[in-house]
Chains A and B, each alone.
Chain A
Amino acid sequence: MELGRKWVQIVIAFLTNGYWGFPFTRTIYQGPLKVVCSPGLNCYSCPASTTYCPIGALQQLMLTMRFNLENAQYFLGWYVVGCIGVVGSFLGRMVCGWACPFGFFQEMLYKIPSRKFGVPRILRFLKYAILAFMVVLLPLFVVNEFGMGSPWFCKFLCPAGTLEAGIPLPIMQPGLRSTIGILFYNKLVILIAFIGWSVMASRPFCRVACPLGAFYALFSRVKLVKLELDLQKCTQCKACHHVCPMGVKFNESPDDAECISCMACMNQACKFDAISLSVGGIPLRAGDIRKPAVSKEV
C-alpha cells in the first residue's frame, strides 16, 4: 500500500506539473487546464504547472474583491472555495497524504538519514492562523489607495512557490534577475529552513504552516472517506503511535485533524484489524465486513 501511495503521489505531481514545453517557450503554461483546481499546494506560477493553486487563487480573489465589487463583478471566491470544499468533503487531509506535491517533497527529504525529531503539537494551531490571516483577512482588509491588497501568504511565506517558481523563473528568464530583492531572499531563507526541518522532522510544513492543510483539516469529522477505529477490536497496544508521520495517536483520537489517511497505521501497525477505511461510514476492507469480531486477548 505504501508503494501504491508513492506511485499515486508521483502520478499526481506529474499531472499537476505536466507542461514540459517550458524550457522551449521560457514561460508558464497558459492553456485551458489552468481552470482546474490543484488538490494540493502547487504554485501556479511554476513553469510546469497545469492547474491553479487554490490558496494562490483565493488570495488573488480576496485582494481584488473591493475593486471587483466596485466594478459590479461579484467574484467572492465561491468557485475556488467550492472546488477545495468538494475535494475536502470527499477526502479531507487524505489529499495531503496522497496528492500534494509539496507533501511528497517533504516525505522524500525525511528519508535522508539524520537524527529525527518530533514537532511540538502546539505548533499545529499556527496553520489555522495563517489560513485566517495571511490568506483571507490581510489580503482583504490591508489595501492600498486603489483598494488592492497583497497575497500575504504567497508573498511572504509560501516555500512551495519559491521552490517551484521563485527559483526556476529567474533561471529561465534572465531579465527577472535584476528584480530579485529582499522579498526573494526572505522566502529563500524560509524555504531552506523548511527543507532542513523536513530532513529532521516528518512533514513540518504540513503540520505547522500549510493553510490548505488547515482548510482540509476542518473536514476531519465529516469527510466521506476516512479511517475508522473499531473500539471492540482495539487492544490499546499503541502500535499506531509509532508509524504515524503526522504524530497522530490514532487509538486516542481517530478523528484527529492531523490525520492524512496515509494508512500506515492500518497496514503497517495494527495487527487486530481495528483500523479500516470507510466511505460514508461503511467499511471498505473485505475483512471488516466478513470477519467476526476479534477477541481482545493478545
Chain B
Amino acid sequence: MKKKKQRMRKAPFIVLGFFLFLFLAGVISGEPSRVLEQSWQICLSCIGIG
C-alpha cells in the first residue's frame, strides 16, 4: 500500500510569526498599560448607560 506522505503546512507559522511580531511591537510601544487603564474603567456609554 502506498504510504500517504504527511506534510507540515508552512502558512500557519508565517501568519503566527506576523501576529507575534505585532504583539511584541505593541508591548514595546507600551500599549498593554493603556489597555489595562481602559479595562479598569467602566465604560458607561459602551454598555448603554450614560
Contact = CB atoms under 8 A, between A and B. Distances in A.
A183 B12 contact: no
A85 B19 contact: yes
Contacts of B29: 74-76, 78-79
Contacts of A53: 39
Interface string B6-26: 111101110110111111111
A169 B47 contact: yes
Contacts of A78: 22-23, 25-26, 29, 31
How big is chain A's contact interface, by range? 35 or more
Contacts of B38: 52, 57, 60
A35 interface: yes
Contacts of A150: 45
A57 B35 contact: yes
Nearest to B44: A179
Contact of A79 (B1, B23, B40, B44): B23
Contact of A184 (B7, B31, B49): B49
Contacts, number: 162
Interface string A170-192: 10000010011101101110000
Given A34-B40, A79-B35, A82-B23, A170 B49 contact: yes
Interface of B: 1, 4, 6-9, 11-13, 15-16, 18-27, 29-36, 38-40, 42-50
Interface of A: 27-28, 30, 32, 34-35, 43-45, 52-53, 56-57, 60-61, 73-83, 85-86, 88-90, 150-151, 154-155, 158, 161-162, 165-166, 169-170, 176, 179-181, 183-184, 186-188, 219, 221-224, 280-283, 292-293
